[in-house]
Amino acid sequence: MTETVRLSYADAIREAFRFMLQNDPDVFVLGQGLWSPWYVGNSMTDLDKEFGTQRVIDTPVSESLTTAAAVGASISGMKPIVVHPRMDFMLYAMDTIVNQASKWRYMFQGRSSSPVTIRSIINRGGEQGAQHSQSLQSLYAHIPGIRVVMPYTPEDAYDLLVASVNCKDPVIYIDDRWLYDLSSDFCLRNRPVLSLSEITPNFIHRGDFATVVSSSYGVEASRRALQAFSSEKPCDLIDLRAISPISEKSMEVIRTSVRKTSKLVVVDAAWAECGISSEIIARVFEGLAPSNHSICVKRVTLPAAPAPCASSLESVYYSLERDFLTYLEQL
């Protein structure tokens, strides 16, 4: 008999940490604010009390050191998860991520490797302004050697975290605080551990009118827009789950949909320039026959500006759902 529980996205993250800390002595967590309710929402509440402050380590304000220490521990055989409560903060760790973790296996022909998990939280809105709000996934998706995953569903929030920690490659796992209250019924017992090299996109909706590709919070914004849109024009809404690398098998899932709908919209709650949306469109076209090239293409993204503080501007800045709906209605 399967035992189903209702878990929020944040609960699912916390349960994934609990599962791994309970079952794998090599797993430990470090990062800023892990002993405080301020930094990581309710996604890690009381883990320090349950598993001890030796394995759930709140750190000095040293993003660069903290990330590199996690990489070093992974080189020495542990399965560390380093947590950055804002994606903005981990830019201090760029050398460790880009030069070290991403290249360690390749430079050393697999004789040494750095299977670290870097959990990075997007926490937009709330008049936090330019340096507490960013979605920088594209920066990391540019780099060969590291994987980037962005869960949308509570199930994926759990499964992709467990998969990241058990993956033999370094992984950046990005969760979005605007998803923390989504909830699902699911069974925690005996969940299979996913292999990140094999996962493919999920269909959240199916339909013939247009192909909508998105990830993380962008999927939720798209889902709401589609709900408000004509029910007579159902769309394929595809959740990428992994944004780098994206396998050819995954791209073929998207292309199959595009061949059917002839309309491709990529919704990314980040900037368009050199971003995931551009990448998806390019990859789709590279694999389509010339006879399929008369396809209607659109990127729905954040404006090319830092996040403003003033609420009057913030509501314009975060208008992904509205922008997408407007586009759909004129299509």
Partner 1 sequence: MNLKSLCDPFAPIDKPSVGSLAADELVKLHQLMCRIRFVENRIAIGRKEGLIGGPVHLSVGQEAIPSALSLYLNSDDAVYGAHRSHSHVLALGGDVYKLFCEVLGKIDGLSGGLGGSMHLTDPSCGFMGSVPIVAATVPLAVGSALAMTLKKKNNIAVSYLGDGAMEEGVVHEALNFASQFSLPVLFVVENNLYSSHMHISQRQPGTSMARFADANCISSAVFDGNNAALMADQMRDIINDMRRNHKPFFMEAFTYRWYGHVDWRDDIDVGVFRSKAELNAWKERRDPIKRIEDLLISENVMDSSAIALGKSHLKTTIDLLWDKALDCDEPTSDTLLDHVYFFSK
Residues binding partner 1 (CB under 8 A) = 28, 54-55, 57, 59-60, 62, 64-66, 68-78, 80, 95-96, 99-100, 104-113, 144-145, 147, 167-169, 195, 197, 245, 247
- In whole angstroms, the minimum distance from the beta carbon of 320 to partner 1 comes to 31
- In this complex, which beta carbon is closest to partner 1, that of residue 37 or of residue 110? 110
Q: Which residues contact 321 (CB under 8 A, 6 or more apart)?
A: 221, 222, 224, 225
Q: How far is Cα 75 from Cα 138, in angstroms, rounded to an integer?
A: 25
- Three-state secondary-structure class, residue 210: coil
Q: How far is Cα 57 from Cα 111, in angstroms, rounded to an integer?
A: 29
- In whole angstroms, the minimum distance from the beta carbon of 286 to partner 1 comes to 15
- In whole angstroms, the minimum distance from the beta carbon of 21 to partner 1 comes to 12
- In this complex, which beta carbon is closest to partner 1, that of residue 59 or of residue 120? 59
- In this complex, which beta carbon is closest to partner 1, that of residue 101 or of residue 139? 101
Say how many C-beta atoms besides its own lie within 10 A of residue 48's C-beta. 18
- Three-state secondary-structure class, residue 17: helix
What is 60-95 written as a DSSP string? -S-HHHHHHHHHHHHHTT-EEEEEESSGGGGGGGHI
- In whole angstroms, the minimum distance from the beta carbon of 69 to partner 1 comes to 4
- In this complex, which beta carbon is closest to partner 1, that of residue 98 or of residue 331? 98
* Region class of 327: left (phi > 0), else alpha (psi between -120 and 50), else beta: alpha
- In this complex, which beta carbon is closest to partner 1, that of residue 171 or of residue 240? 171
- In whole angstroms, the minimum distance from the beta carbon of 71 to partner 1 comes to 6
